[in-house]
A and B are shown apart, each in its own frame.
Chain A
């Protein structure tokens, strides 16, 4: 159990946290035909959109209610209505996901109430599903915003349906990449189960070239499938942040299984054991093979990860997944995380600072860390401290293929261990006499340098 430290300072240096509305927008983008809509000032949307464009290398159809001076004081209900009207006209989305921002939440708007009233009145909006999540920037981060959006979708769109044998709900966490989701979905399918994945970025933001230009998300979970989630035999939620969403489905009679992590041998074992119980099926040979290969990779990687001092700055669930995996390999962690959550408290260290990259940089220097594990903004710190930098989380804007990194399941864990070990190996340390306090050899013995003159 880690003690959470809240640094006693007013100044935040080099933010680690990503805002909650951005997390909500990302979740909405995992629904087919979706447009996320920020209820706030224009800039909230612009920054978030640029952030996501840099990370995903995709056009991001993020819209704004463009609160102005008047609506900021008198209320933004009309702004939402106008925004929905315009979005429907221009992009014909099947789904609009609204995320509130600090501005409207500070004002104390009853967005949910106004939205209900408006949708009752505007029957012409009926063919667009509209969902609202309260995600003020001042509460939580990426993982919380994402989770609030998923909860809002479940509340609004899941209905009671008859049992669907062999269908399970999969609720991926905010930091799972397209490759992660594909890996987990593949494991579920290998047991003869059919997952409904909410949300499914592996269909929308996996980076594929479409045949057409649309102003909304290209792929994602289908609304019709979301409606059936109440009939699934189980919900598999990945990450502690997804527990409330799983609980909502449990209230509809779908048993919840929350997996704090799907990275690391033991974590994946627990997941596989659950799949075995749910399906009653034989464990596929390919999965047995993957486990044997991970075991061997652990042996090879432990020489480089055992005793490695890692500075880790990640959101709680991602930090828990990767941090426990490294700690299980003998690494020593120095942790900073973004929000004080249950996952943060369970990090395998004595203390976790809820802070920023500035805190991590100081702590990494203090602890003599040898590797940095954080998002792309850590690059300057890595340079200053001369550390190898493994990028994880959001945003990763200075590398390609962020959505291709799979660190989930037996195979993803294997890849992650190799990634970390290789980062260590790519910073080779050639021993020098001064490392041991030895004096240098007299230059008398050195070979004189004039080049040979004979030819």
Chain B
């Protein structure tokens, strides 16, 4: 690993804005916040994967992966970030290095040619070049190639140095956005910067989630100037430094860019969430307050309150008829989302019982909040091994699992409904309207008549014995080192 990359990783883990990080002793802080990976029991993505998650939603950029085929041949076209403009980001570009390329040291030359070809073929706003394990190992200097290509072709060519072996997806998130801070932010100026221009960082517009929130901002006259990276154009990243406020959407990984925007350009930031009713309202309130503090017209505040009142009333009215259909159902949450309290409280408001929630990435503060909402800490658990989860679900101790894609089949094979709440999901659940969608999805899942049919014994089987009625105490479930849902 080059000294420069080592330093960058150290920097990435040095996050004064992060409460979790700040609370750690010096020695531990040095180790970073990514948990050490366990050989034989790791399933999450690598640093390259993390960088792609963060950057690929930038729509008019050619994302060029400098690697043998596996990195992108196996990885492309698998996420649901929506675009209102260019579809270029969905195409898969890679240098597809061969054995000969590697042995003969042709990597840099091939990369340079690939950059030239992708600019000629696609006319992208910029080219992002991703270094991966092999190309880092053989010592390709992608920084130099990108610099030369930028000069030669008159098009921004941005190096993203994220070999998979340096660490986990979380680290890749950080390294990816760091490339934006270093090379992109501040390189373009908006035509008419406004007093209500904002940045949104950490929303990827999965299945259009950003657009579930955007009408609210539209009505308040707030413009999304910069975005990392939901439905973002390259220019929107380049102009981020002119926004008035940055909203960081529930994510520690992207805190660095928010902090650097503050340090370098004086843009204050806050952390908020658009999942759940109360968090959506809180985010809107904070956003408007901070904009007004920075000089936006003061009437923004009463307009914001009126909007919140109207939207909350409408949402509750839309949720009311769903209450009898979902009330009393037991939900097991298995997400990395330590910021889902708002969703938990909205579900509880509908009479849904949250029987458990994973605390894999939670801080002590998060734990306190969960205990507060749920009244006890008996429902918190750490990682759960698939076999353990299967047993719990098979015993019918939860009616529905809400998780990411990797535990999908644990639930399904246990004949238990499953709702995708992670980045591969196909339904948008953000903002007020997203909350209604989520409850509809729960309704559709748990009330599908299929489950009853599926649980019936086959004609040649004796009926299965009844499920045990023991209380559900997740805290007693033995933890697993295997984080098979690294999200």
The reply to whether B208 and A432 form a contact with Cβ atoms under 8 Å apart is yes
- A8 close to chain B: CB less than 8 A: no
The reply to whether A436 and B215 form a contact with Cβ atoms under 8 Å apart is yes
> Which residues from A are CB-within-8-Å of B449?
327-330
The reply to whether A452 and B459 form a contact with Cβ atoms under 8 Å apart is no
Nearest CB of chain A from residue B356's CB, rounded to whole Å: 22
- A113 close to chain B: CB less than 8 A: no
Residues 244-274 of A at the B interface (beta carbon under 8 Å) = 265-266, 269-270, 272-273
- B212 close to chain A: CB less than 8 A: yes
- A278 close to chain B: CB less than 8 A: no
Q: List residues of chain B with CB under 8 Å of any chain A CB.
A: 60, 82, 84-86, 116, 119-120, 123-125, 152-155, 190-191, 207-208, 211-212, 214-215, 218, 223-224, 231, 233-236, 239, 412-413, 415, 428, 433, 444-445, 447-450, 453-454, 456, 458-460
> Which residues from A are CB-within-8-Å of B447?
330
The reply to whether A329 and B450 form a contact with Cβ atoms under 8 Å apart is yes
Q: A432-B208, A436-B212, A441-B85 are in contact. Are A266 and B456 (CB under 8 A)?
A: yes
| 9 smallest beta-carbon distances between A and B, as pairs | A431-B208, A447-B125, A438-B214, A330-B448, A438-B211, A273-B459, A445-B233, A436-B211, A299-B412
The reply to whether A435 and B454 form a contact with Cβ atoms under 8 Å apart is no
A194, B449: Cα distance in complex, Å:
35
Nearest CB of chain A from residue B115's CB, rounded to whole Å: 11
Chain B residue nearest to A291 (CB atoms) is B458
> Which residues from B are CB-within-8-Å of A444?
190-191, 235
Q: A269-B459, A446-B85 are in contact. Are A431 and B207 (CB under 8 A)?
A: yes
Chain A residue nearest to B85 (CB atoms) is A446
The reply to whether B444 and A307 form a contact with Cβ atoms under 8 Å apart is yes
> Which residues from B are CB-within-8-Å of A291?
458
A291, B454: Cα distance in complex, Å:
10
The reply to whether B428 and A431 form a contact with Cβ atoms under 8 Å apart is yes
A295, B82: Cα distance in complex, Å:
33
16 contacts between A and B (CB under 8 A): A269-B458, A288-B458, A299-B412, A327-B449, A328-B453, A330-B448, A432-B84, A432-B208, A432-B211, A439-B214, A441-B84, A444-B235, A447-B60, A452-B123, A452-B153, A452-B154
Q: A440-B84, A447-B234, A452-B154 are in contact. Are A433 and B214 (CB under 8 A)?
A: yes
The reply to whether B459 and A276 form a contact with Cβ atoms under 8 Å apart is yes
The reply to whether A272 and B459 form a contact with Cβ atoms under 8 Å apart is yes
Residues 409-455 of A at the B interface (beta carbon under 8 Å) = 430-433, 435-442, 444-447, 449, 451-455
Interface residues on A, range: 35 or more
- A311 close to chain B: CB less than 8 A: no
- A306 close to chain B: CB less than 8 A: yes
- A283 close to chain B: CB less than 8 A: yes
A330, B155: Cα distance in complex, Å:
52
The reply to whether B208 and A433 form a contact with Cβ atoms under 8 Å apart is yes
The reply to whether A449 and B214 form a contact with Cβ atoms under 8 Å apart is no
> Which residues from B are CB-within-8-Å of A455?
116, 120, 153
Nearest CB of chain B from residue A374's CB, rounded to whole Å: 23
Chain A residue nearest to B426 (CB atoms) is A303
- A57 close to chain B: CB less than 8 A: no
> Which residues from A are CB-within-8-Å of B152?
454
Nearest CB of chain B from residue A437's CB, rounded to whole Å: 4
- A166 close to chain B: CB less than 8 A: no
The reply to whether A447 and B124 form a contact with Cβ atoms under 8 Å apart is yes
- A302 close to chain B: CB less than 8 A: yes
Residues 291-321 of A at the B interface (beta carbon under 8 Å) = 291, 295, 298-300, 302, 306-307
Chain B residue nearest to A452 (CB atoms) is B119
A26, B69: Cα distance in complex, Å:
56
Q: Which of B120, B428, B454 contacts A299 (CB 8 A)?
A: B454
Nearest CB of chain A from residue B404's CB, rounded to whole Å: 15
A63, B215: Cα distance in complex, Å:
67
A453, B413: Cα distance in complex, Å:
56
> Which residues from B are CB-within-8-Å of A307?
444
Q: List residues of chain A with CB under 8 Å of any chain B CB.
A: 265-266, 269-270, 272-273, 276, 283, 288, 291, 295, 298-300, 302, 306-307, 327-330, 430-433, 435-442, 444-447, 449, 451-455
A272, B457: Cα distance in complex, Å:
13
Q: Choose among A288, A447, A455 the residue with the greatest number of B CB atoms under 10 Å from its CB.
A: A447
Chain A residue nearest to B212 (CB atoms) is A436
> Which residues from A are CB-within-8-Å of B234?
447
The reply to whether A288 and B460 form a contact with Cβ atoms under 8 Å apart is yes
Q: A298-B454, A431-B207, A437-B215 are in contact. Are A445 and B236 (CB under 8 A)?
A: yes
Q: Which of A265, A329, A449 contacts B123 (CB 8 A)?
A: A449
The reply to whether A452 and B191 form a contact with Cβ atoms under 8 Å apart is no
A256, B55: Cα distance in complex, Å:
66
A440, B235: Cα distance in complex, Å:
16
A275, B470: Cα distance in complex, Å:
40
A288, B214: Cα distance in complex, Å:
51
> Which residues from B are CB-within-8-Å of A440?
84
The reply to whether A441 and B233 form a contact with Cβ atoms under 8 Å apart is yes
Chain B residue nearest to A299 (CB atoms) is B412
A266, B218: Cα distance in complex, Å:
51
Q: A265-B453, A329-B450 are in contact. Are A446 and B60 (CB under 8 A)?
A: yes
A273, B448: Cα distance in complex, Å:
25
> Which residues from A are CB-within-8-Å of B459?
269-270, 272-273, 276, 283
Q: Choose among A283, A298, A430, A441 the residue with the greatest number of B CB atoms under 10 Å from its CB.
A: A441
Nearest CB of chain B from residue A346's CB, rounded to whole Å: 16
The reply to whether A447 and B233 form a contact with Cβ atoms under 8 Å apart is yes
Q: Which of A302, A436, A447 contacts B214 (CB 8 A)?
A: A436
> Which residues from B are CB-within-8-Å of A300?
412
The reply to whether B208 and A306 form a contact with Cβ atoms under 8 Å apart is no
The reply to whether B120 and A330 form a contact with Cβ atoms under 8 Å apart is no
Q: Which of A302, A433, A451 contacts B448 (CB 8 A)?
A: A302
Chain B residue nearest to A304 (CB atoms) is B426
Chain B residue nearest to A443 (CB atoms) is B85
A306, B417: Cα distance in complex, Å:
11
A449, B412: Cα distance in complex, Å:
47
> Which residues from A are CB-within-8-Å of B450?
298, 302, 306, 328-330
A295, B415: Cα distance in complex, Å:
9
A27, B276: Cα distance in complex, Å:
60
Chain A residue nearest to B124 (CB atoms) is A447
The reply to whether B454 and A447 form a contact with Cβ atoms under 8 Å apart is no
Q: Choose among A302, A328, A435 the residue with the greatest number of B CB atoms under 10 Å from its CB.
A: A302
Q: A306-B444, A441-B84, A452-B119 are in contact. Are A266 and B453 (CB under 8 A)?
A: yes
The reply to whether B233 and A451 form a contact with Cβ atoms under 8 Å apart is no
Chain A residue nearest to B417 (CB atoms) is A302
Nearest CB of chain B from residue A453's CB, rounded to whole Å: 8
Q: A431-B82, A446-B85 are in contact. Are A438 and B215 (CB under 8 A)?
A: yes
